[in-house]
Amino acid sequence: MPEKRLHVTLIAHTPEPEKVIAMASRTCYSALDLDGLRDKAETADNAAYIRRVLASGHASVVEHASFTFGIEGVSRTLLAQITRHRLASFSVQSQRYVSVAGQEVFDYVCPPRIRGLGPAAQEKYLAQMKTMQRWYDEWTEALGEDAAEDARFVLPGAAATRMTVTMNARELLHFFSLRMCNRAQWEIRELAWQMYALVAPLAPAVFADAGPGCVRGACPEGKRSCGRADEVRARKAACQERREKE
């Protein structure tokens, strides 16, 4: 069955990101030349230094580290959300150039709440996807050459896609603060948690306080709080424990 599940891999990242960030930060405050700054980054406690710098509010220096992710098994609905994070680079599979004509059914994402209703609900959902596949094929046949450009208009937000996304560490911290929150939509929330799990071991000082406001103190959502801050903190603690065991 072409139902897809979210999967994230870390394709590439800035080598030794905390050394790069520490060197960049010391550029602002030290009289050392570049060789001296590099030597300092090799010998000093960069993690402690980065924590002090971030605590002071000097967050721009973490922009010097970037991370590139391969993401698949996500919906076009998610695409509409993640591209609101404008300080990022996106390369997305094109429905204009990648046709799904002639398939039994295109790749799609099924929301967990529908899946949780049981086999009958899943079959109903699949039948709806197949109906839209039939519409797509009908328009492909009617339109002829370059049909995917317009036939794609009948595909749903559930249609699966894949993308390559690059964010610097500062934008990741912003992304995590919004999207790891329980009030974020379920799909992008799960994406954010998976991305966090991949980058946190590479720059633990940078991402030590990553996540929604409730992991650092009181929930900033006020009356709109989910009321489950302990759950969020426990999930992050579990991520850290797994990382320490690996």
Q: Catalytic residues, which ones?
A: 179
Quote the CA–CA distance of 106 and 151 in Å, as a whole number. Answer: 13
In whole angstroms, how large is the CA radius of gyration of the chain?
A: 22
Could you list the beta-strand ranges (E) of the chain: 7-13, 66-75, 88-92, 160-168
Of 108, 115, 69, which Cα lies nearest the Cα of 92?
69
Burial 59-77 (b: 16+ CB within 10 A, else e): eebbebbbbbbebbbbbbb
Indicate the SS3 state at residue 12. Answer: strand
Distance CA 15, CA 136 (A): 45
> Taking the mean position of all CA atoms in its chain, how far away is CA 174?
11
